[in-house]
Structure 1
Amino acid sequence: MQCLFPKTLNPQFFLRSFNNTRSKAFTVRSMSSGSRMFQLKVDPLTGNSEWVVIEEDEASGDATKQLLANTSYLDMFNDTRRNKAYREAIEKTITKPCHVLDIGAGTGLLSMMAARAMDHGDSAESSGSKGMVTACESYLPMVKLMRKVLHANGMHRKIRIINKRSDELEVGVDMPSRADVLVSEILDSELLGEGLIPTLQHAHDQLLVDNPKTVPYRATVYGQLVESTDLWKLHDLYNTEKEVLDEIRLVPEGMDSAICVKRQQFSMHCDALEEDIKLLSEPFKVFDFDFWRRPDSHRVTKLSVQATDTGAVHAIISWWSLQLDEKGTIFYSTAPKWISCPSSVEGFNSSISWSQNWCDHWKQCVWFIPKKGLSLLKDEEVSLLAVHTDTSISYEMKTLSQNLELEQSELSAQKYQITLLPEKIALYSDVNWRCSMLKAIKNAMKQKTPSLCVVVDDSIFLAVALAHLAKGSHVLSLFPGLQEKGALYLQAVATANGYSKDHVEVQKMSELLTSQSSLEKQIDLLVGEPFYYGNNSVLPWQNLRFWKDRSLLDSILSEGAVIMPCKGLFKACAMSLPDLWHSHQCLQHVEGFDHSVVNSTLGACGGSPPGQENPTLPFSVWQCGKSKKMSDIVTIMEFNFLKTISPCSGKAKVEFITHGKCHGFVLWIEWVMDAEESIVLSTGPEQRYWKQGVKLLKEPVAVGSHRSATTDCHSADIETSFDPSTGDLIVEYAFL
């Protein structure tokens, strides 16, 4: 892991930067106290966060293990194509003793490959000279894990570990001399997001000899124009909302960018969308990045792309290819499955397999084309402008008659503009979801004409819908994440949605509790989706913050106040998830190096000690490769939001309905919006707008239905318990 953080402690900077790192913690150096790690600790039920200092002797505790289990290290080490490509390239590049620098060393895999290559080099014995490997790793828990791995492989005397960022290294202090060879893997799905360019710049300026050897040697970014209704719905709320027949307008006429996605690339498993994707061009090369020379911070390239079919360009799908060796015989690609190999790679060896085993640490990237996309005729030329900065790549495109790119100055001038994740944009234009929400609100208002309505979460839709429908009520949104930005937005869209600006306001929870204690007006209607702005990768039960917030407001609820949702149903389904399970299976030998010591810390499936369970992790199941339901859906327990938050537990028997291998249980919450349970909104695996919790088994279990005459397991008991003091939910199971 390599992450270039500033030397001053600025939590807001770190929060933004963490989107592009493999782990949500960082290490700083102190002259007086050695290495310390600052870990961001977030209370899922309050949203409160704080930076906690973890001393070196605490870096292997349970909290750190949970943190490491949520990283992509395990998935990365199970990527056999990646590991083999690096090993072969290192063996071809390092043929004699030299000084090797490994930046972002992780467990030390590449460092060990380099040390072994020097031991086996042609001239190592005859020359009598000794090489050395400097392993640079900034993340303290990973440094501790690396030491264990090096000891297990007898490599601890051959590799010098430096617990610093690479831009903190000094020749003559941390390194005796400049390095002859650089090996590194500091790449994200976009290629640049982990700080590749500034890392290489500093390395070439301060740490490497002139004309060094590097592994990888070069990276090439490719793109392809596509039409996809699913991708269009993920960003264009203005036009998709026009197809909805209700009277709510989250993005009114003339305010088409009031709610939008960030102008950035989004990582995504595009193979999961293949049936909805129509290719409108051949793949085209965008940028080359040479590791063996100092890169530029900023480049612009103009491309002319010919349409291969008629359609509307909704997005540019991009990926990258690594040329790992100088001669160009070893490659690795993150291309989608429909790409066999980049046709523009010179000297490409057709014998190299480009078929992919599913992995989650690298995906494809999607750049959305604004509005309804760019209409093209077959053979029409598209002018494409690609720009890269230190950390990202962006695009502008046009034909001779069209230019769809929004002016950046126009976007920044709109103080009320709110950026949401693509999944939330798509949800807000979903006809069925909106219809259910509006029906629930109308049913609630029939029970009791509300004087005061409170939206406890960051639901923009509910705030606007309530203000529109409850004309005689006062609507108050807590907007814990949106705050002032949300207030400006509600004021901006008031006229278009038929409510007065003084009809709705935004207030903090603390202010509401203080002000209402002296007022007679109490809350008659309390609602939530639930949705909390900034909770992008959380487990389903971490949205039970809604229950916590409702409980805090209990004293100022009126008699007979309506709570929506009124109940949460905790659901489970046994599933076959072979790709996801194999990407998290326990490690033994990775390209000849024993990694079994990392399994427990990284939460690997299989091989774990008795009593130690794999952590439950958040995933969008529809993007997890092959999947199949192995059982009916069962309800394990209920969360009663009509009462204040309390511990709860439940148990259910899962009956298997088909024969095959079960790899785990998928868990989610269905939100019951009304007392009659006529409106129930699911966040299950068939939905694309939410993440589910996935409890992977230690080992896959052969299962079958009772009708099958096999010795396979026919059922399983699954038991859960929820602790509101910590927000933790424990899942236990037993196959019968």
Structure 2
Amino acid sequence: MKTFCGRANPTTGALNWVEESDEYDYHQEIARSCYADMLHDRDRNKKYYEGIRAAVSRVKARGERVIVLDIGTGTGLLSMMAVTAGADFCYSVEVFKPMAEAAACIIKKNSFSEKIKVINKHSTEVTVGPDGDMQEKANILVTELFDTELIGEGALPSYEHAHLHLMQAGCEAVPHRATVYAQLVESEQLWSWTQIRPIQVDGHVLLPPAAVGQCPGVPAVCDIQLSQVPPTAFTPIGPLCTMFSVDFSRPVSSAARSYTCRFVVKAGGRAQVVLSWWDLDMDPSGSIVCSMAPSWTYSDPQEYPWRDHWMQSVYFLPTEKSMCEGEELRLTVFHDDYSLWYSLLDGEQADADDNYSRPCCTCQGHLVWTRPRFGELNDWQRTESYLSALRSVLRPDSVCLAVSDGSLLPVFAHLLGARKVFSLENSGMSKQVIEQFLEANSLKNGVKLLAIRAEQLTPADLEEEQISVLMGEPYFSTSLLPWHSLFFWYCRTALAGLLRPGAIVLPSSASLHLLAVEFQDLWRIRAPCGTCEGFDVSPMDEMVQQSLDFRESREAEPHHLWEYPCRALTKPCPVMDFDFQQCVPEQPIISQGTLPLIRRGQCHGFALWMEYSLTDDITVSMGLTKPVNEEGECVWSPHRKQGIYFLQTPWESSDDGWTAVSYNLTFDPSVGDIKMDFSAIQP
């Protein structure tokens, strides 16, 4: 049976009705889950196994039957570990039905069905008793309910309920304890992700609205691979602080709480950002530790266990504060049942009150712009590229129209002397944010903001003027993959009748670039698992393969590649061009070719990104920002996500392996997407 799903197309802006199987959500959830990453996390698996064996031994030493409750069982791996360690019975709870079915299949394949019962419910709905889901309460609680922020997946309410209703008094827990750490730092790089700096524009200083500078920002945690932010990018203001611990073997409360750490400023500077991560003690003695600390905290970085399902967190203070060496500070962390946030007090301020309200954006800017977008707006080299391009095309009689979301280009055009400037804003919220900028800089009459779509624009909206300069970054909040920003091209096509003959389109064109890469670690998130810690989990691989085969063609995925080191195995190459001087064609754009191998390695997939030609001699890249060096090291733009097409099986470049890659790309203008196919060329 087929169903039709309405999907907003981020490239064309249209609503497409796509025929899907009834199992579409199931396939997509399985394909894009993080289970492969977790199963490949040997450090995590090893520490859990050691902790489970130790807990089973402690319960057996007391002469008790070992009954295990595994909440959030996923593939059932931890349950199988428990039974192998000597547990008498295990209840495995998994709320996501496809994963519960996968767990049951994996458990059966490993011959554990008699000792493991899979319960497809949320743990708070599980019952105990003769007619319940569990025949008796458990005395070992095994969970993997954690996210980068530790408690963001509802760990505290789940533990609270389990101790009240599902566990025996004096039970064991694996992990036994979690500890949250934090460090206050100054970092221009990280601070640029939450505040707009003043911008110099030909003698003018464009200031951010006061509301943006005073706003505490968006409440969602900023989770990143902090190992890829070098220690040179920040200066510690204080020591690494132990903020709080949670003992999972005892009753847990999900009530809001706060914890404060006092310390003396070790180096003067501006307190801006809190770096945070956590550790898991798998046993009461703390001898089995699974740490989320970034690689630069290790004496030997080679010992760092890479993982992507758990990363590190960055929290931004509501406002930056200047600190002097020797000053006493109090860093306070607050948490509700799902999230953390931080505040800072000096020695003369009153103690933090019991206000547990989460910070939230009051200026709307943090809702319109993502953190990478803040960084992009603060990138002075990028800004200078756009300013240089505008200077070369603007004339005193120029009538400009900007097409981007929440862009400052129309403000730049006005300051550079354009006669009239209009700007299309797809949302009322982004329109209000730009209005704040105009008002803060006394430019309200300089730019006319239009909350209207390109195809709805009329000559009356433009005051009967014809557009002489159509410009865009292009940036759109709905874009996921690099080519989704071609929405600018569709807008340019819709506006063709409003353009003056010979009108300038900036950027004038774009090109899609391609590079075969070997990942240092990212390959793990899509690699087959096969056997994990001696258990056959291949049914997961089969389910993932089914989900990939379900799609007519495999799709690229968006990733911030600056967080994931990789080596270039071919030269970067432009593989498809898009001419914005012309309207979107009706026929597909097809590109075929080959890329020779120039470095040996294991090809895990292909990186794809867009580059925009603003003028004949000014280009901005949304991918590589520096030439690839002799070793193949790649430096990626942190402001945009690049596309990654993962190979189902990596290609080895041995003596009899592949020597080049052939590509076949088709851009379908009717849907705005790119179908792609790659094959290895043998010697």
What TM-score comes out, normalization by structure 2 length? 0.84
Which of 357, 378, 399 is the matching residue for 1:429?
378
The aligned residue for residue 344 of structure 1 is none
1:338 & 1:430 partners in 2: Cα distance? 26
SS, match of residue 387 in structure 2: helix
Which of 411, 418, 436 is the matching residue for 1:492?
436
2:644 & 2:466 partners in 1: Cα distance? 40
Structure 1 position 215, deviation (Å): 1.6
Structure 1 position 191, deviation (Å): 0.5
The aligned residue for residue 266 of structure 1 is 222
The aligned residue for residue 368 of structure 1 is 316
Which of 472, 484, 490 is the matching residue for 1:528?
472
Cα separation, partners in 2 of 1:401 and 1:434, compared to 1, 3 Å: farther
Structure 1 position 334, deviation (Å): 0.3
The aligned residue for residue 232 of structure 1 is 191
Q: Which moved more, 1:332-341 or 1:165-174?
A: 165-174
Structure 1 position 569, deviation (Å): 0.5
Which of 450, 472, 478 is the matching residue for 1:506?
450
The aligned residue for residue 382 of structure 1 is 329
Alignment-mate amino acid for residue 267 of structure 1: D
- Is the CA contact (8 Å cut-off) linking 2:71 and 2:123 kept in structure 1? yes
The aligned residue for residue 475 of structure 1 is 422
* 1:176-231, Cα deviation, whole Å (9 max, x unpaired): 44443322111111101111112222323333333433221111101123333322
2:337 & 2:17 partners in 1: Cα distance? 27
The aligned residue for residue 200 of structure 1 is 159
Structure 1 position 433, deviation (Å): 0.9
Structure 1 position 508, deviation (Å): 2.8
1:328 & 1:152 partners in 2: Cα distance? 34
The aligned residue for residue 663 of structure 1 is 604
Structure 1 position 249, deviation (Å): 2.1
The aligned residue for residue 29 of structure 1 is none
Q: Mapping of 1:115-514 within 5 angstroms?
A: 115-117=83-85, 120-121=86-87, 131=89, 133-171=90-128, 172-238=131-197, 241=198, 247=204, 249=206, 251-252=208-209, 254-257=210-213, 261-274=217-230, 275-292=232-249, 293-340=251-298, 355-377=303-325, 379-400=326-347, 414=363, 418=367, 420-446=369-395, 449-451=397-399, 453-469=400-416, 471-479=418-426, 483-501=427-445, 503-509=447-453, 512-513=456-457
Identity of aligned residues (%): 28
* 1:308-328, Cα deviation, whole Å (9 max, x unpaired): 444444322111000122343
Q: Mapping of 1:679-690 within 5 angstroms?
A: 679-684=619-624, 685-690=635-640
Q: CA RMSD in A?
A: 3.9
2:360 & 2:115 partners in 1: Cα distance? 54
- Is the CA contact (8 Å cut-off) linking 1:167 and 1:203 kept in structure 2? yes
Structure 1 position 523, deviation (Å): 4.7
Is 1:623 the counterpart of 2:623? The answer is no
SS, match of residue 261 in structure 2: strand
- Is the CA contact (8 Å cut-off) linking 2:454 and 2:495 kept in structure 1? no
Structure 1 position 463, deviation (Å): 3.8
Alignment-mate amino acid for residue 147 of structure 2: D
Is 1:638 the counterpart of 2:595? The answer is no
- Is the CA contact (8 Å cut-off) linking 2:455 and 2:495 kept in structure 1? no
Cα separation, partners in 2 of 1:412 and 1:143, compared to 1, 3 Å: closer
- Is the CA contact (8 Å cut-off) linking 2:508 and 2:613 kept in structure 1? yes
Which of 641, 645, 653 is the matching residue for 1:695?
645
Alignment-mate amino acid for residue 305 of structure 2: N
Which of 716, 721, 732 is the matching residue for 2:661?
716
1:186 & 1:277 partners in 2: Cα distance? 31
Q: Which moved more, 1:518-527 or 1:261-270?
A: 518-527
1:153 & 1:615 partners in 2: Cα distance? 33
Structure 1 position 468, deviation (Å): 4.1
The aligned residue for residue 52 of structure 2 is 90
Which of 14, 18, 43 is the matching residue for 1:81?
43
SS, match of residue 303 in structure 2: coil
- Is the CA contact (8 Å cut-off) linking 2:11 and 2:484 kept in structure 1? yes
Cα separation, partners in 2 of 1:211 and 1:454, compared to 1, 3 Å: farther
Cα separation, partners in 2 of 1:517 and 1:394, compared to 1, 3 Å: closer
Alignment-mate amino acid for residue 386 of structure 1: V
- Is the CA contact (8 Å cut-off) linking 2:610 and 2:622 kept in structure 1? yes
2:132 & 2:490 partners in 1: Cα distance? 52
Q: Which moved more, 1:267-276 or 1:186-195?
A: 267-276
2:167 & 2:219 partners in 1: Cα distance? 35
Unaligned 5+ runs, structure 2: 625-634
SS, match of residue 688 in structure 1: coil
Which of 653, 668, 685 is the matching residue for 2:594?
653
Cα separation, partners in 2 of 1:108 and 1:467, compared to 1, 3 Å: farther
Q: Which moved more, 1:627-636 or 1:640-649?
A: 640-649
1:629 & 1:719 partners in 2: Cα distance? 20
- Is the CA contact (8 Å cut-off) linking 1:517 and 1:556 kept in structure 2? no
1:110 & 1:654 partners in 2: Cα distance? 44
1:461 & 1:186 partners in 2: Cα distance? 42
Structure 1 position 429, deviation (Å): 1.4
- Is the CA contact (8 Å cut-off) linking 1:683 and 1:689 kept in structure 2? no
Alignment-mate amino acid for residue 228 of structure 2: A
Cα separation, partners in 2 of 1:502 and 1:567, compared to 1, 3 Å: closer
Structure 1 position 580, deviation (Å): 1.5
Cα separation, partners in 2 of 1:541 and 1:162, compared to 1, 3 Å: farther
Cα separation, partners in 2 of 1:335 and 1:423, compared to 1, 3 Å: same
